[in-house]
Amino acid sequence: MKRGSFFLMAAIFLCTILLFSGCGKSSGTLQAQGYTIDRTDSTISRDGITYHYQVIGDSVTITYPDQSTYQTMYQNGGSFSGWSEDYDPDNGVPGDVLTDLVWENAVPKRDMLHWVLPLLCWLLGGFILIFPKASWYVCYGWRFQNTEPSSAALIWERITGVILIIAGFICIFI
């Protein structure tokens, strides 16, 4: 296997591993403020009462034992809430307490490192897409004198660039 092909395949393999390394549901049980939060089953328990929660993006929804719901959306450092018609704030733990508990303890936070892989994929993919000939020279052309890439090689370079850009977008949602 040629060195350029090896490095390209190694880079694609590494990106694939990094891409899917964050997949899956966070698991485990933790104790917070007297509540037991089970991240595997998406439940909160206290005093024998179990509440189910669901996190979608920046939104946390709590389902009470009587099937009433309370939902909070967190945006720009603030939040706003809503509830189902059958929700009774005096019946059990208030919804804002439970949603804040889930948001602070059970939802994984994204840090700056989360954006490194997508940014690298976008930069490398954009370079390859815009400058396929230069990319070909970086991988293969330096080994030969007076040679040009074929049109098929340039098309393959562009396809690789598009794949890396798409992988960068996928990384954001993982």
* pLDDT tens, residue by residue, 93-115: 888 888 888 878 766 655 666 77
Whole-number mean pLDDT of the chain?
80
**How much of the chain exceeds pLDDT 70, in percent?**
79
- The answer to whether the pTM exceeds 0.75 is no
Report the C-alpha gap between 138 and 152 in whole angstroms.
17
**What is the tens place of the pLDDT at every residue in 43-102?**
888 888 898 988 887 888 989 888 888 898 888 778 888 888 888 878 778 888 888 888
Instruction: Select from 130, 135, 132, 124 the least CA-distant residue to 151.
Output: 132
Q: What angle do helix axes 132-139 and 3-21 make, rounded to 10 degrees?
A: 110
Q: Which residues contact 82 (CB under 8 A, 6 or more apart)?
A: 70, 71
pLDDT at 99: 83
Matching residue, tokens 């936070």? 109
- Which is more confident, 139 or 57? 139
Burial class (CB in 10 A: 0-12, 13-18, 19+), 127: middle
DSSP string, 56-81: ETTEEEEE-TTS-EEEEEEETTEEEE
